[in-house]
Structure 1
């Protein structure tokens, strides 16, 4: 198979390219290369997709599959204009952020999505979900349904993650010196897809030319499962202090991501369904997932490589965590 990855120097794209190469495929990555290098033995066509002529180095070839990772509608449209007729199969990696309702658990691909972004130029990150909808619309307009897979990925976790959203937890449990661990409600939903599992499924879909719209999400869990996997991986015996949704909101703790946030926490009921979607279509199309403990182990290995005490994009600082634990009446910390 001749596979073209639009991207491939960053996390998911690089994992896909490496796996496809190891499965014997001829892989080309078109990317600026700002995020890193392509995997070994993968051809790198250096190009800036915002510039005219970006696809000249690949537009004269036929491709068994093209995989696009962009969330920028203008880049999705330019790629489709240059390459759609040269590709037997097209895969757009979209996101479950496209959905309008994040409060209802168990929704599937038939749920309503937000309106697409109608601006021009580069879409702002605040419009991520709407921008992905516009990328999906452009893909459907340019590619016949039986040649198109729209893979709406859930929260991706595992080795190589730089978002700190999932990796915060194995890293936090690996640093016992910080004292008691503040955790969100233990029954809160958690649903992640390991980058290795997602990449394998995307390559298999390219090989089999799987079409349709699929929520590429993992098995449903609750935060207690994450906690237990982190304790098993690290052997941490620190006290656990459980909080509640209203208590965290009253103290203006940021959910999900960002500075002084509590990663993986999403207040209910508004976000009860964001990490509790149906994965029936994904499993029916061949997505298989490893145990949650394996994802924690891989995440911890990556966190150790980066440095457990580094500055982070997401998570509570030790000082903020200690103050919150104290406010909850938790055990005294160092």
Structure 2
């Protein structure tokens, strides 16, 4: 296939390019290349999407597949206007954050969505779900029956720039000091390996798969994930389980960001990592064992440095301070 990836230099989009090149496809990356260059084997069409519709002038000819991972509706809509008429298949990598209700486990693609971000409203991290919903609307309007709305969940595996999935195996591998863990053993975690997601996006394009589909991984209880992370890292120190209310009272953040505990979700989010992936599995999504993703994530964390500054997780000094405050009755 002749494939155009709008991006191609960061985590998922770079993996899509690597996978497509390995499969023998003719791949073009439209990207600035400010932070990284596209993987070897792809043609690099240097363009800055923030400059408007002219960014797509060099993407000439017909395309068997276009893949867009945009977060901002403005460049996404401009790309659709410039390219959708010349694309046989269009993949928009959306997110399960488009769903209005994160409390219901097992919800599928028919669940209600957030309202689309109104035109002219700036796209910000706080409006991530609404922005993705707006791009979904624009994609269906411009690409219609040839559009695949790939609603990805948490993405893990080598190269994860969010630092969420790899935090726990990296923490257990970092040192043998006590590890503070939220007491949520039965809560679900659900991550999809970046390599499986990239392969699915390409397979779906080749097979002409369309419509909204949840691209999410297997549900794994948090306690199982923690135990496997500890075993993989060879940690023999103490685990300090902390109740959720205590963590919140002491300023620990949910999910992501500085001084957070990744994969710990706020109240009312019991379905956020428990979405149904039945429809995608029936259409060709293939998932490797989650233990393989965990092991490869740990190997990647070791390469990048276990003591590096992270975007998500507790800083060592914060964890040590909290460990000293934690009532042992917990």
Q: TM-score range by the shorter chain?
A: over 0.9
1:154-193 superposed matches below 5 A:
154-177=153-176, 179-184=177-182, 185-193=184-192
Which position in structure 2 is the counterpart of 1:205?
A: 204
Say which is worse superposed, 315-324 or 2-11, in terms of deviation. Answer: 315-324
Query: For 1:182 and 1:13, how far apart are their aligned partners in 2?
Result: 33
Once the two structures are superposed, residues 205-264 of structure 1 have per-residue CA deviations (whole angstroms, 9 ceiling, x without a partner) of 111111110010000111112112212211111111212222222223110011111111
- Please, which of 315, 324, 327 is the counterpart of residue 326 of structure 1? 324
Which position in structure 2 is the counterpart of 1:12?
A: 12
SS at match of 2:301: helix
Query: For 2:137 and 2:34, how far apart are their aligned partners in 1?
Result: 28
Which position in structure 2 is the counterpart of 1:41?
A: 41
1:288 Cα deviation from its structure 2 partner: 1.4
Which segments of 5 or more consecutive residues in structure 2 lack a partner in the other structure? none
Query: For 2:233 and 2:328, how far apart are their aligned partners in 1?
Result: 22
Tell whether 2:239 aligns with 1:247.
no
CA contact (8 A) 1:74 1:122 kept: no
Which position in structure 2 is the counterpart of 1:54?
A: 55
Query: For 1:126 and 1:34, how far apart are their aligned partners in 2?
Result: 24
CA contact (8 A) 1:100 1:113 kept: yes
Which position in structure 1 is the counterpart of 2:3?
A: 3
Which position in structure 2 is the counterpart of 1:30?
A: 30
Which position in structure 2 is the counterpart of 1:117?
A: 117
Query: For 1:306 and 1:236, how far apart are their aligned partners in 2?
Result: 19
SS at match of 2:91: strand
Which segments of 5 or more consecutive residues in structure 1 lack a partner in the other structure? none
1:244-283 superposed matches below 5 A:
244-268=243-267, 270-283=268-281
Query: For 1:34 and 1:330, how far apart are their aligned partners in 2?
Result: 49
Once the two structures are superposed, residues 71-116 of structure 1 have per-residue CA deviations (whole angstroms, 9 ceiling, x without a partner) of 1100111000000010000000000011110111111110111111
Say which is worse superposed, 237-246 or 110-119, in terms of deviation. Answer: 237-246
Once the two structures are superposed, residues 34-91 of structure 1 have per-residue CA deviations (whole angstroms, 9 ceiling, x without a partner) of 2311111100100011214100111x31000100000110011100000001000000
1:330 Cα deviation from its structure 2 partner: 4.7
Which position in structure 1 is the counterpart of 2:310?
A: 312
Tell whether 2:64 aligns with 1:102.
no
SS at match of 2:246: helix
Which position in structure 1 is the counterpart of 2:126?
A: 126
Query: For 1:194 and 1:151, how far apart are their aligned partners in 2?
Result: 14
Query: For 2:58 and 2:296, how far apart are their aligned partners in 1?
Result: 36
TM-score by length of 1: 0.95
Say which is worse superposed, 204-213 or 229-238, in terms of deviation. Answer: 229-238
Query: For 1:231 and 1:292, how far apart are their aligned partners in 2?
Result: 15
Say which is worse superposed, 225-234 or 305-314, in terms of deviation. Answer: 225-234
Query: For 2:89 and 2:13, how far apart are their aligned partners in 1?
Result: 17
CA separation of 1:173/1:330 partners in 2, compared to 1, >3 Å: closer, same or farther? farther
1:183 Cα deviation from its structure 2 partner: 1.0
CA separation of 1:272/1:148 partners in 2, compared to 1, >3 Å: closer, same or farther? same
Which position in structure 2 is the counterpart of 1:217?
A: 216
1:119 Cα deviation from its structure 2 partner: 4.4
CA separation of 1:102/1:135 partners in 2, compared to 1, >3 Å: closer, same or farther? same
Residue correspondences, number: 327
Which position in structure 2 is the counterpart of 1:150?
A: 149
1:122 Cα deviation from its structure 2 partner: 4.6
1:325 Cα deviation from its structure 2 partner: 2.4
CA separation of 1:46/1:330 partners in 2, compared to 1, >3 Å: closer, same or farther? farther
Query: For 2:233 and 2:116, how far apart are their aligned partners in 1?
Result: 43
1:118 Cα deviation from its structure 2 partner: 1.1
TM-score by length of 2: 0.96
CA contact (8 A) 1:229 1:292 kept: no
